[in-house]
Structure 1
Amino acid sequence: MLPPRLPLAVEKRALTAPDGTRITYYATRSPYPGAPVVMLANGLGGQHITWSAQIEHLRGRYRFLTWDYRGLFASARPKEDTPASYAITRHAEDLLAILDAEGEARAALVGWSMGVQVVLEAYRKAPRRARCIVLLNGTSGRPLDTVSPLPGMKTVIPSLVELVSRAHALASQVTRRAADVPEALAWLKAMGVMNESLDDAVFNELVQGMSKLDMEAYFHNLRALGDHDASDVLGAIDVPTLVVSGDRDAMTPPALAKEMARQIPGAELYVVRGGTHYTAVEFPELVSLRLEKFLAKATEGAGGTSNG
């Protein structure tokens, strides 16, 4: 097993969400007074380490915030452990609560996969809090509807998720065992699930993180994600927006990214050749450079973003 990379220079913090859920979040130090803030919304099962390349590349110009979704990693399960407590609207409220806790009035909102839904919902709730938006490998519509290209599968997938979620203990065992299989990445690359460019050490970090998940909470979040649709938000977005996709993304195909970019007024579209659903970790330099260019323009003149 390959050794992990050096840890990111982030501070681990916590807050209590409006519904009483204890949320763990992570913050980098501001590189200078009033530096623009970038809020990173993870994919389901993702952690702050997913964004390592982007944070390292841009931390001299921006302050980063991100968090563990409720019930996952270091964030607690909701006190009222009901489906409604895992709704995308709750995650959006957590995002806004973190900005409040840090005294930040506005931020660039960047979402990957599930994070796309969270960012769009946060924009719906508080559009003035968004300085700009980046939507990476995601969809505004019901995400589980796009997982399989086979006809009729979008009506079957939710039932399969429900069935598997009832066997969450077994799913936890399978995930932990998969983390100890050295050939796993080679298999995924051979099947086209991940690009050949994905670094073994990065993959090891991702899988080791997944192996520690509370799978019951994971499936609660997955069901909530499958029920959510933020497509009606797109036409109302009036801040600079960048939509990023990989042309080999089977989970959220590039056609979805193109349609989102078409519906968002003035949105930019960037499609990475060879990128799958994990474009940001497969092509970290390309994504980081494109983010750098977009954020520099979108946050031009930013400063004094703090309330206090």
Structure 2
Amino acid sequence: MPQRVLIAGTSPLLAGRLAARCLSATDSAAGADVVLLSAPGSRPGAPAPDRHELASFVTRCAGERTPAGQGPPTAGASAKPPHDAPDGKRLTVVCVEPDAVARELKAWTADQVWCVAPGWDRSPARGARADSALAGTLLAALPGLGASGYVHVGPDTTADGGPARRSYRDLERLAVETCLDAGVSWRVLRTPPAMDARASVLGECPPGAHRLLWALNSVRTEIEDRVPDWFERHPLRVAGVAGLGLTLLTAEQAAGALWRAGGPGELPDGFATVPRPAPVPLADVLARAGAVHGIDVRPVPDREDFGAADRLLDLRLRDVFRQAVRLRDAAPASTGTPPPGAARSDSDAARSDSDAAGSTTTRTDAENASPAARTASADAAPHARSQSATASAAAPQAGPSTADAPPPPLSAADQWELFGAVRAHRSPPDTARGETALRRRVLEVAGRPLVLFEGGAGEGPPLLVLNALGQGPGFLTRLCAHLAPHHRLVTWQVRGTEREDPAWGIRHQLDDMNAVLEAVGAERAHLIGWCTGAKIATAFQQHSPRAVASLVFLNATFRQNGRWDGMDTKYESDLAAVCRALDRRPHKATRMLDLLAPGAAGGKGSPGAPDAGVLGVLSRALADEVRRPFRDAEVLVRYARQLVDLWRLDSAAQAPRVGVPALFVSSEFDGISSPARAREAARCFPHARYAELAVAGHYAPHDRPALVAELITEFVRAPEEVADLVRYAEITWHIDMEGTAR
């Protein structure tokens, strides 16, 4: 009778590779049915694959390993177990939301269960939470599944002494305890990060080399969106790489080692760690990866002369440096200033961890394993219910302590090939979805047309995206495209500046918002206000408090006459003077047109901030949009009067009465809307968080839509936790939910 192997994972990449290994196995796993249950958290910038994409990936990988003369496995599309499994091998792929795993497991039985929770989420806190939820659900369902074996795959955190290590060690203890109680055989396996050419297609970016390639690609895309030939004349500088190395392990190598250590068979209970290949000098990896992306990457001794582009790359490489290890023959004095988070060498980390563990084990043949593997086994010994159970769980001699001998490091030629393949499969990180169109609909409100743009998918209140006064939809196209797969959303053409429009003040804008809510059939919504939209969103929350679930302010201007003096940007000061003059003397509009168009404004931030350089140049895609309110004198006068009306609105007085969560997202180099004033405004809201994006400008929702969309998505889902779930080096969190400094 064929076996059934259930492989459930938060990593489609690794779980899919393991499913392919099972399907192509020629030993005791031959004839096994494979159920692949994929439960990653899909988010902007990292969409989870659907079952057809994942099935195609698995069958392709299995086909590459199938011996000549054998056909590839059959990929089943059903979401239910087959009643009469045919001879041979069959794959069934099920993709579910993380909170639906328990319900889905009720439909299955399995002989062996794999939990693939490798900790590869870009956010450690979010990843640990998702991995813990999946493991807990699988272990709770173990009796109903009828499995005789359980394999837990987690991250190798030997060199990580932080909360992530403790979280994953607790998971391992839970797995062993549950299996001991249920009389199920168990294996706990650990793997370092791995690389795969199709990782980005599956919505993944594992730590280490993948994050390095992502950092280069994302910086390159953001700069070339402004100045296409910039890299022909300028290098990118990186500090602190001397004496550091990066291990390059392919996902196929990791999956092979894991399968050999945990595949169906007579292996006893125990622990195993996938060994890392010898590290490749980080300077060499950067040089090859830079060349693949057309970037001259130059190591330098320190960060003293970094420009904005260098700073952005440095911030995005911080996570990479945490995965780097010191090369064995590198003298500490020769390494320059080490980057924040740089790890110790594997052997040094293992020795210090072993000293900290303070435990002893019986000497066995397993002691021939690497120090890291022996330490991992000792450290993972669970706190069992009894002395005998503790001895059984803690003794690594009961099973293998390493999954394999260390693979050789990737050759230079293999690195070129792999880096090139990763880039070929990666869509530009923040622009790939920019062409996604929303549906256009025209309503008649107050006797005049109101143009809506709506779309997206998702449950719960929709997102109402408030554009800035006088602006067209182009500023928010990319952001909406990244939000649409996760939320229902609607935006509209703000009225009041077109030649045929009557005077349209704040009261009219609030009436339009009520009409939009009614048109989309929603009683409540999350409001997202960009620039001047923030003050209008606040006013609407006061006008209709039950209709607002939360507030998000992007590069908000809270300018008000007579308040927060000295915090205006130069652009705000100049604009205020001109708008007041035009309100009184509209006949002077023609002479003032050329004075106001911001062009590349936004390249300098608060007083004393360094120049944003190329990151202060306006995106070419916004060249026409930014001139929209300044295209003729009549439109300019209408726009000026809208702003004068907005500046009379006292948002500071309204803020203390706002009872819903609020998220402020500002930018370091915003030269249009004052970050200092936005930060001061955030302190007036009772339940606000304030995040500032490093080396970003006023148009961050356009320039970095995936990051901004991720902030919005996590905030809407869990406003109290967003600062922990989206904690990256390029984000500085200033205000907590009680309005106090962090």
TM-score, scaled to structure 1: 0.75
Q: Report the AA paired with residue 108 of structure 1.
A: H
CA offsets, 1:103-160, max 9 Å, x none?
111111010111011101111110111111001222444179754569x989855533
Q: Report the AA paired with residue 535 of structure 2.
A: Q
621, 639, 647: which one aligns with 1:202? 621
Q: Does 1:96 align with 2:521?
A: no
Distance 1:61 1:232, change over 3 A: same
Distance 1:195 1:293, change over 3 A: farther
CA distance in 2, matches of 1:271, 1:221: 28
Bigger RCO of structures 1 and 2 (CA < 8 A, at least 6 apart): 1
Partner in structure 1 of residue 439 of structure 2: 11
Aligned pairs, number: 279
Give the unaligned 5+ runs of structure 1.
Answer: 301-308
CA distance in 2, matches of 1:163, 1:106: 39
CA distance in 2, matches of 1:56, 1:41: 15
CA distance in 2, matches of 1:195, 1:127: 42
Partner in structure 2 of residue 303 of structure 1: none
CA offsets, 1:212-254, max 9 Å, x none?
5733322232222232222222111111210111123234322
Q: How does 1:125-274 map to 2 (within 5 A)?
A: 125-142=543-560, 147-148=568-569, 156=577, 159-162=580-583, 165-169=586-590, 174=594, 185=600, 188=601, 196-197=614-615, 200-207=619-626, 209-210=628-629, 214-274=635-695
Q: Aligned to 2:643, what secondary structure does the other structure show?
A: helix
Partner in structure 2 of residue 297 of structure 1: 718
Distance 1:209 1:299, change over 3 A: farther
Is the Cα–Cα contact under 8 Å of residues 93 and 122 in structure 1 kept in the other structure? no
Q: Does 1:43 align with 2:468?
A: yes
Is the Cα–Cα contact under 8 Å of residues 87 and 221 in structure 1 kept in the other structure? yes
CA offsets, 1:35-94, max 9 Å, x none?
531111111232222112221212111111111122346x9513xx4xxxx222221221
Is the Cα–Cα contact under 8 Å of residues 106 and 131 in structure 1 kept in the other structure? yes
Distance 1:201 1:77, change over 3 A: same
CA distance in 1, matches of 2:672, 2:626: 18
Partner in structure 2 of residue 23 of structure 1: 450
Partner in structure 1 of residue 709 of structure 2: 288
CA offsets, 1:265-305, max 9 Å, x none?
121110112233323223333322212221222599xxxxx
Q: Aligned to 1:103, what secondary structure does the other structure show?
A: coil
474, 478, 488: which one aligns with 1:53? 478
CA distance in 2, matches of 1:215, 1:23: 20
Larger displacement relative to structure 2 (213-222 or 105-114): 213-222
CA distance in 2, matches of 1:143, 1:275: 27
**1:99 Cα offset (Å):** 0.7
Distance 1:43 1:190, change over 3 A: closer
Partner in structure 2 of residue 77 of structure 1: 501
Higher Rg: 2
Partner in structure 1 of residue 36 of structure 2: none
66, 78, 86: which one aligns with 2:491? 66
Distance 1:263 1:207, change over 3 A: closer
Distance 1:171 1:67, change over 3 A: farther
Q: What is the alpha-carbon root mean square deviation over aligned residues?
A: 3.7
Q: Aligned to 2:489, what secondary structure does the other structure show?
A: strand
CA distance in 2, matches of 1:144, 1:77: 30
CA distance in 2, matches of 1:139, 1:17: 27
Q: Aligned to 1:167, what secondary structure does the other structure show?
A: helix
Distance 1:195 1:21, change over 3 A: farther
Q: Report the AA paired with residue 250 of structure 1.
A: G
Partner in structure 2 of residue 306 of structure 1: none
Is the Cα–Cα contact under 8 Å of residues 114 and 138 in structure 1 kept in the other structure? yes
CA distance in 1, matches of 2:702, 2:468: 12
TM-score, scaled to structure 2: 0.34
Larger displacement relative to structure 2 (218-227 or 89-98): 218-227
CA distance in 2, matches of 1:223, 1:40: 22
Distance 1:239 1:15, change over 3 A: same
Larger displacement relative to structure 2 (228-237 or 192-201): 192-201
Report % sequence identity.
22
Q: Aligned to 2:457, what secondary structure does the other structure show?
A: coil
Is the Cα–Cα contact under 8 Å of residues 583 and 641 in structure 2 kept in the other structure? no
Q: Aligned to 2:529, what secondary structure does the other structure show?
A: strand
CA distance in 2, matches of 1:231, 1:191: 26
CA distance in 2, matches of 1:169, 1:153: 16
Distance 1:142 1:157, change over 3 A: farther
Larger displacement relative to structure 2 (42-51 or 107-116): 42-51
Q: Report the AA paired with residue 57 of structure 1.
A: H
Q: Aligned to 1:56, what secondary structure does the other structure show?
A: helix
CA distance in 2, matches of 1:155, 1:170: 16
Distance 1:281 1:196, change over 3 A: farther
Is the Cα–Cα contact under 8 Å of residues 471 and 626 in structure 2 kept in the other structure? no
CA distance in 2, matches of 1:41, 1:62: 15
Q: Aligned to 1:61, what secondary structure does the other structure show?
A: coil
CA distance in 1, matches of 2:699, 2:462: 23
CA distance in 2, matches of 1:76, 1:8: 30
